[in-house]
Structure 1
C-alpha cells in the first residue's frame, strides 16, 4: 500500500537553488568573498543553515552564523515573491488528496522560508504537516526529520515515498528506510543514486514515478528490483 508522500521543499517542490545561490553570492560579495556554483552544489545545497555556516565561517562565533543566515533567508524571500511548482506536482497532490494518501513537507529550510515558499506557489493550505529541521534536535542528513514525518502521518516507511533533490536529503530519507525518489534538479542522477535514491526522475510527470505509484497502490509493495 501507499499511505504517505514526504516532500523536501527547496529544489523538489520548486526549483530554488539558483535563488539561494544568488542570495548568498550577493551577501558574501559584500564581504569580499566569491562563492562559485560548484562550491554551492558540493557543500551548501540542501544543508541546514547551521551546517552551511560552519562551512562558510569556521572561525566565526555562532552569533555571526545566525546573523548571516537570517540575512540570507531574508534576501532569498525578497528574490522569490512568486515560485513555480515543479512540473507534475499539482497532479500528484490532487491524486494524493483523491486517494487518501497522507502528505508532509520535510525541509531543512527555516519555518519563515517554508511558509513563504508554499504561499508563493499557491500551496499554503495543501500540507497539514510541515516539518522544519530547526525545530528538531537533528537536521538532514540525519534520518530524524523523515522518521518524524512518518510519525505525523502514522505511516510505515515501507508504505511511503520520499522526494528529494539534494545529497543530505536523499541520505536522510533512505536512512529512514523510505523508498527515495531523487529529482535531478540540482544534482546528477549518478550522485543521487550514490547517496541512496532508488529512482531518479526529472519531474513529477515522469512515467516511471506513476508506474511506481500504481504498483504500490495495487498492494504489490515496493518493487524488488530498484529502478534507476
Structure 2
C-alpha cells in the first residue's frame, strides 16, 4: 500500500493486548520437557516475544541439532491451542484500540503469531471494526528482535515509521522498534519489569492497556503528527 500522511499505532498482541505470555511459557516448558529438555520456566518466560526459531536458539543454543525443532514447535502449538477458548483481553485492551481509532489513528496489530493464532486473538479482542491491518508470521522473514514484522505492518498499512508508535510488552518488541527508530511504549502486563523495558529503550512504560488508555493524552500517542 502506498504511504500517505495518516498516523497510526502499531501494537503487539500476545502479552500486550491478550493475556497469553504465561500460557506460551507453560506450553513451551511442556513441549521442551516432552523432548527431554528441562528448561526453567523463568528462562522461557524471558524469551517469549522472540520467534520460535530464535527462542529455541536462545534456550537450547545455536549449535544444537535442529532436527527436532519442528516437533517442538508442533508440540507447543498443540498445547497452546488448548487455551484458545479461555483467552481473555488484558484490562483496557479493546477500549485502547477504540480510543486510538477515535483519534483518527490507524490501528495495526503487528503480531508475529501464525495466521491461525492471529485469528484466535482477533476473535478474543472482537474489535475488527476499528482494526486497520493485521500481520502474521507469514509476513516476516526474520522474527523479533529483527524488525521485519514492523516493516510488514508499515507496508501493509501504508504508514511511515516517523508517523507511528509501537506498543509492546517485551524487550524484544523494544529492540525491534528501535531498529526502525520507532518510539516504543512498554507495558509490564507481559511480565517484563518496568526497569527492563525502560533499559531496553522504551520511551514510556505503563502497567497495562488500561493504564496507557488513562494516560493516552500525555503519551507518545498524543505526540503523533
TM above 0.5, yes or no, is yes
* SS of the residue 2:135 aligns to: strand
Matched, 1:102 2:106: yes
Alignment of 1:73-112 (within 5 A): 73-112=77-116
8 Å CA contact retained: 2:98, 2:130: no
Matched, 1:183 2:187: yes
Segments of structure 2 that go 5 or more residues without pairing to the other structure are none
8 Å CA contact retained: 1:3, 1:102: yes
Residue of 135, 139, 152 corresponding to 1:135: 139
Give the aligned partner of residue 204 of structure 2: 199
Give the aligned partner of residue 222 of structure 1: none
Segments of structure 1 that go 5 or more residues without pairing to the other structure are 220-228
For 1:68 and 1:151, locate their aligned partners in 2 and report how far apart those are by CA, in whole Å.
Answer: 32
* SS of the residue 2:37 aligns to: coil
1:58-98 per-residue CA deviation (whole Å, 9 max, x = no partner) reads 42234x21221122012101123132212122222222333
Give the aligned partner of residue 150 of structure 2: 146
8 Å CA contact retained: 1:5, 1:104: yes
Matched, 1:167 2:171: yes
1:101-127 per-residue CA deviation (whole Å, 9 max, x = no partner) reads 111111232222111222234345653
For 2:143 and 2:221, locate their aligned partners in 1 and report how far apart those are by CA, in whole Å.
Answer: 31
For 2:123 and 2:84, locate their aligned partners in 1 and report how far apart those are by CA, in whole Å.
Answer: 11
User: How many angstroms does 1:11 deviate by?
Assistant: 0.5
Matched, 1:120 2:127: no
1:13-39 per-residue CA deviation (whole Å, 9 max, x = no partner) reads 112111111112222333333332321
TM-score with structure 2 setting the length: 0.84
8 Å CA contact retained: 2:54, 2:143: no
Residue of 179, 192, 216 corresponding to 1:209: 216
Alignment of 1:14-33 (within 5 A): 14-33=18-37
Most deviating of 92-101 and 110-119 = 92-101
* SS of the residue 1:205 aligns to: helix
* SS of the residue 2:219 aligns to: helix
For 2:155 and 2:219, locate their aligned partners in 1 and report how far apart those are by CA, in whole Å.
Answer: 23
CA RMSD of aligned residues (A): 2.3
Matched, 1:37 2:41: yes
Number of matched residues? 216
TM-score with structure 1 setting the length: 0.83
Residue of 156, 164, 186 corresponding to 2:160: 156
